[in-house]
A and B are shown apart, each in its own frame.
Chain A
Amino acid sequence: MSDRDNLTMARAILADSLNVDPQAITEDATIETLESWDSLGHMRLVLAIEAQLTRQLTPMEIAELESLRSLQKILASGGPA
């Protein structure tokens, strides 16, 4: 999957988890800049990523999940080996 595809998927997953319009999520979106990114949305986001990757995220992946770009990076890491 290309970087662009991963970014599109990341934006779709984040928008769905936070219940916002994907167009409202800019490429530099972070926990600090997205008002709708709250603790429950974050939990939905982690579960959605895990469903997509068919594996549990590591503690460090969860800790580093703080922006659209970090979500894109996790998706690029792929599912189970």
Chain B
Amino acid sequence: MSVLRKRPVHLTTERFLLRNLTANDASERYLAWAADAEVMGPLNVKPTRMAREQLAAYISGFDGINRFLIGIFTRADKLHIGFYMVEVDPVHQVASFNVVIGDKDYWGKKVVLETREALLEHFFEERGIEKIIGQPLARNIPAIFNYRAEGWRLEGVLKAHRKSMTDGRRLDQMQYAMLKSEWRARRGAA
């Protein structure tokens, strides 16, 4: 199946809705996450105070073909609580996932475990992806927990692979991966 067709992502799980973000989603909530060191620090992104227009332009930069910015919303009240960034290499059929849960009330609530399952299924089965990777910093402990709990395979530790955006230290990074065959075997065993 081609990975180049522009089709919006629209997925539901038991508690959440996942869909492409649009410029209209540039809310005060989202702006607050971007400026919060506790939210952005684990991603090695320097907290930034942005204007709503800047955030809207940033969101619009995701083409929905090879670069996706996918919002996580509660199904009950449509509250925006976080987002995934997904980048696709269409030649090699590899995608990389990053996730931010911006609303701290949802930390420790297994949001990632529930929603990433749906995204894995979608990108493997609907968009022709053969391998998906995640590259959390070695000290992003909640992220590492989630990769482990979800059955991703650790491919290695990338020593001093990143420069800290806050103090310049060299940071180790992990690489986790899931192959389509591993996903299917895991799903079949579930």
Contact = CB atoms under 8 A, between A and B. Distances in A.
B144 A38 contact: no
B142 A39 contact: yes
A31 interface: yes
Contacts of A66: 148
Nearest to B173: A59
Given A39-B108, A59-B172, A31 B148 contact: yes
A26 B138 CA distance: 28
A32 interface: yes
Contacts of B108: 38-41
A24 interface: no
Contact of B157 (A31, A46, A60): A60
Given A59-B157, A60-B157, A63-B174, A42 B142 contact: yes
Given A37-B149, A42-B145, A59-B138, 13 more contacts: A31-B148, A32-B149, A38-B109, A39-B107, A39-B142, A39-B145, A39-B146, A40-B108, A42-B141, A59-B157, A60-B157, A63-B148, A63-B154
B81 to A, nearest CB: 14
Q: How large is the interface on B (under 10, 10 to 19, 20 to 34, 35 or more residues)?
A: 10 to 19
A46 B141 contact: yes
**Chain A interface SS verdict (over half):** helix
Given A38-B108, A39-B108, A41-B108, A63 B144 contact: yes
A42 B139 CA distance: 12
Contacts of A59: 138, 157, 172, 174
A53 interface: no
A43 interface: yes
A9 interface: no
Interface in B149-182: 149, 154, 157, 172, 174
